[in-house]
Amino acid sequence: MEIVYRPYFDPEFDTLIERIHPPRVNIDNDTCRDCTLVKVDSANKHGILLEMVQVLTDLDLVISKSYISSDGGWFMDVFHVTDQLGNKITDESLILYIEQAICATRRGSKEVRTSLGREVRPPHVSKERTALEITGTDRPGLLSEISAVIAELECHVAAAVLWTHNTRLACIIYMEDDCKGGTVAGVNQVAHVQAQLENVLEAHHREGERRSVRVTAPEAGRTHTERRLHQLMASDRDYEECCSSSSGGGGRRRQDRHRDGIRVTIDYCKERGYSEVNVRCRDRPKLLFDTVCTLTDMQYVVFHAAISSKGPIAIQEYFIRHMDGCTLDSESERRRVAQCLTSAIERRVSHGLRLDICTDNRLGLLSDITRAFRENGLSITRAEIGTHGEKAVGSFYVTDASGQDVDRDVVEMVRREIGGTVTVVNESPGRPPQTTTRSIITSKSSNVEEGQSNVVEDRPRFSLGTLLWSQLERISGNFRTIKS
Q: What is the pLDDT of residue 47?
A: 85
**Which tops the pLDDT comparison, 186 or 91?**
91
| Residue 13 scores a pLDDT above 90 | no
Contact assessment for residue 71 and residue 304, using Cβ atoms and an 8 Å cutoff: yes
Rama region for 106: left / alpha / beta (φ>0; ψ in -120 to 50; rest): left
Which residues, 6+ apart, have CB-to-CB distance to 484 below 8 Å?
235
Least confident of 69-83, 91-105, 217-231, 440-454: 440-454
65 - beta bridge partners? 80, 308
Average the pLDDT over 213-237 and give the result. 78
The per-residue pLDDT for range 117-131, each reduced to its tens digit, is 444 433 333 445 778
Phi, psi angle pair for 349, to nearest 5°: -80, 100
Q: What is the pLDDT of residue 12?
A: 61
| Residue 140 scores a pLDDT above 80 | yes
Contact assessment for residue 189 and residue 179, using Cβ atoms and an 8 Å cutoff: no
**165, 206, 71, 162: which is closest to 386 by C-alpha?**
162
**pTM of the full structure:** 0.78
Q: Give residue 300's Cα distance to chain centre.
A: 20
Angstrom CA distances, 355 to 110, 206, 427, stand at: 32, 32, 11
**400, 395, 466, 397: which is closest to 428 by C-alpha?**
397
The neighbour count for residue 433, using CB atoms within 10 Å, is 20
For residues 165 and 158, what is the distance between their CA atoms, to the nearest angstrom?
24
Sorting pLDDT into bands at 50, 70 and 90, what band is 106?
very low
**243, 326, 245: which is closest to 279 by C-alpha?**
243
| Residue 65 scores a pLDDT above 50 | yes
Q: What is the pLDDT of residue 125?
A: 35
Sorting pLDDT into bands at 50, 70 and 90, what band is 408?
confident
